[in-house]
């Protein structure tokens, strides 16, 4: 299995790059912070990517053999909310039947879908040094899909699928062999119901609920997870399937509030998880490793990432 670690844009440093490359890790992921602020943090990343200093860091990471991936909640950035005043029909209908620009958009509106796709292609081309796998996730939350009369028969998974397929088709006009991650997470954990053939989408499974569930028996959880994951793997295929994990996500363990908490790795759980994922047929896994940057080091010293690399040997 290939492996990767994902950090926040502001945490990227020569030291982090050397740490990853020295440990033999395959991929450096960059993730602008999610939640309601995601459109702004993605816009800030794009500004950073124009600077020679940041580009030099990305170049250095590539020279050390790391593959670069950008993973972000992109829908709020890609669908320009200022269009709401003139085109409320581009935006989602909430469960009260009102159009709102709060999250995502209406995937049944062809103009909205086409705008979204064009912006997605611009974004793909602006991600300096990126590999050909793109991670333009829909907005971050629960119950934030469109409920308009045309979208009502589409599940949140269908809506994500339609948006990402449109984005990928547009991106492929510029980058013919591009691929796009379908994020299976919270509302999109069931496979889409729309049929597909060779969509160019690959599965990215994020077991977020594992970290929020309480008093869970591990065996029961794994059995439940396997039952949930099998239809996803059947739908998207196993060859490129990826896990998005939280083993080193010190932003989660710090409840996304600075200063960072002291990070304690649950190494046994991670090793068991990697084995399970491998048996299920996943071919790669990345873990968030946010809140382990310079401010963390000043407080607690350097986080040890060797156990992560070893878990994949
Ligand atoms: Zn709709």
Query: Residue 136 Cα, ligand 1 centroid: separation in angstroms?
Result: 19
258-269 tens-digit pLDDT: 999 999 999 999
Query: Residue 103 Cα, ligand 1 centroid: separation in angstroms?
Result: 12
Can you tell me whether residue 242 is helix, strand or coil? strand
pLDDT at 214 over 80: no
Query: Residue 159 Cα, ligand 1 centroid: separation in angstroms?
Result: 9
Query: Residue 71 Cα, ligand 1 centroid: separation in angstroms?
Result: 25
Query: Residue 89 Cα, ligand 1 centroid: separation in angstroms?
Result: 8
- The domain that holds 195 is classified in CATH as 3.20.20.80
Contact by Cβ (8 Å): 191, 157 = yes
* Averaged confidence pLDDT in the chain: 95
Which residues are within 8 A (CB) of 275 and not within 5 positions of it... i.e. 6 or more apart? none
Residue 192 has a pLDDT of 96
Helices within the chain (DSSP H only): 14-22, 38-48, 52-63, 75-78, 110-126, 156-172, 218-236, 250-253, 267-280, 294-300, 306-311
Residue 93 has a pLDDT of 98
Q: Is 31 left (phi over 0), alpha (psi -120 to 50) or beta?
A: beta
Query: Residue 171 Cα, ligand 1 centroid: separation in angstroms?
Result: 23
Residue 34 has a pLDDT of 87
Query: Residue 230 Cα, ligand 1 centroid: separation in angstroms?
Result: 29
Query: Residue 73 Cα, ligand 1 centroid: separation in angstroms?
Result: 19
Query: Residue 91 Cα, ligand 1 centroid: separation in angstroms?
Result: 7
pLDDT at 159 over 90: yes
Residue 166 backbone phi and psi in degrees, to 5? -60, -40
pTM, rounded to two decimals? 0.96
Query: Residue 147 Cα, ligand 1 centroid: separation in angstroms?
Result: 6
Query: Residue 99 Cα, ligand 1 centroid: separation in angstroms?
Result: 9
Nearest one of 92, 228, 87, 226 to 156, comparing CA atoms: 92
Q: Distances in Å between the alpha carbon of 163 and those of 22, 53, 246?
A: 38, 34, 26
Provide the domain limits for residue 205: 2-311
> Mean pLDDT throughout 50-59?
98
163-188 tens-digit pLDDT: 999 999 999 999 999 999 999 999 99
Query: Residue 133 Cα, ligand 1 centroid: separation in angstroms?
Result: 27
Query: Residue 296 Cα, ligand 1 centroid: separation in angstroms?
Result: 43
Query: Residue 118 Cα, ligand 1 centroid: separation in angstroms?
Result: 19
Query: Residue 112 Cα, ligand 1 centroid: separation in angstroms?
Result: 10
Q: What is the DSSP letter of 289?
A: -
User: How many domains does the chain divide into?
Assistant: 1
What percent of the chain is predicted at pLDDT more than 70? 99
Q: With the C-alpha atoms ordered 274, 280, 286, 289, is the resulting torsion angle positive or negative?
A: negative
Residue 215 has a pLDDT of 64
Which residues are within 8 A (CB) of 51 and not within 5 positions of it... i.e. 6 or more apart? none
Residue 104 backbone phi and psi in degrees, to 5? 50, -150
């Amino acid at each position: 299995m290939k492996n990767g670690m994902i950090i926040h844009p502001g945490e990227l440093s020569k030291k982090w790059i050397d740490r990853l490359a020295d440990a033999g890790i395959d991929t450096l992921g960059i993730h602008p912070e999610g939640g309601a602020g995601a459109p702004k943090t993605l816009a800030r990343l794009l500004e950073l990517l124009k600077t020679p200093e940041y580009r030099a860091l990305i170049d250095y990471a590539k020279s050390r053999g790391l593959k670069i991936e950008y993973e972000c909640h992109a829908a709020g950035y890609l669908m320009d909310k200022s269009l709401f005043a003139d085109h409320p029909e581009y935006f989602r209908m909430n469960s009260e039947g009102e159009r709102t620009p709060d999250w995502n958009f209406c995937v049944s509106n062809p103009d909205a879908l086409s705008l979204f796709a064009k912006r997605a292609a611009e974004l793909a081309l602006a991600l300096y040094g990126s590999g050909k796998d793109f991670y333009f996730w829909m907005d971050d939350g629960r119950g934030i899909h469109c409920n308009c009369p045309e979208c009502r028969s589409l599940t949140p998974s269908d809506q994500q699928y339609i948006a990402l397929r449109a984005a990928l088709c547009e991106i492929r006009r510029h980058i013919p062999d591009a691929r796009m991650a379908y994020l299976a997470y919270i509302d999109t954990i069931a496979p889409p119901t729309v049929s597909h053939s060779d969509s160019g989408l690959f599965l990215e499974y994020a077991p977020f609920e594992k970290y929020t569930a309480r008093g869970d028996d591990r065996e029961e959880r794994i059995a439940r997870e396997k039952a949930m994951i099998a239809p996803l793997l059947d739908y998207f295929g196993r060859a490129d399937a990826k896990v998005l994990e939280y083993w080193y996500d010190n932003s989660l363990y710090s409840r996304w509030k600075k200063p960072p908490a002291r990070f304690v790795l649950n190494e046994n759980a991670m090793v068991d998880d990697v084995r399970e994922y491998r048996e299920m047929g996943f071919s790669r896994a990345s873990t968030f490793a946010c809140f382990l940057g310079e401010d963390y080091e000043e407080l607690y010293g350097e986080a040890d990432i060797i156990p992560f690399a070893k878990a994949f040997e």
